[in-house]
Structure 1
Amino acid sequence: MVYRLPVDKNANGTIKLSDIEKDDLIITIVSAVTRQSTTPTEYTLTISQ
């Protein structure tokens, strides 16, 4: 599955995944969406149960 995560005006977003099994593999890719995004920036990813 692929999810596009919408962000608010403060550039924060949340996604909740359910029914994750012990052996499931989750791959996360963080990337700018617009073609004009050429300025480097930092991202923070927090994972919790």
Structure 2
Amino acid sequence: MGLLVVGDVHGCFHTFTTLINEHWDSGKQILVQLGDLLDRGKFSKDIVRFIV
């Protein structure tokens, strides 16, 4: 099984969801998120809603 590793999202909801939707194959890859999910970006609340 492959990995999709994403680091330091920093609240950039639209970039993160685009990356997930276009590049992550949940049937073949494990998603690993490293670093900060929240910080700086304007959409931190949306990030929390998305990952829960």
Taking structure 1 as the reference length, the TM-score comes to 0.29
Higher normalized strand content (fraction of residues): 2
Higher normalized helix content (fraction of residues): 2
Larger RCO (CA within 8 A; separation ≥ 6): 2
Taking structure 2 as the reference length, the TM-score comes to 0.29
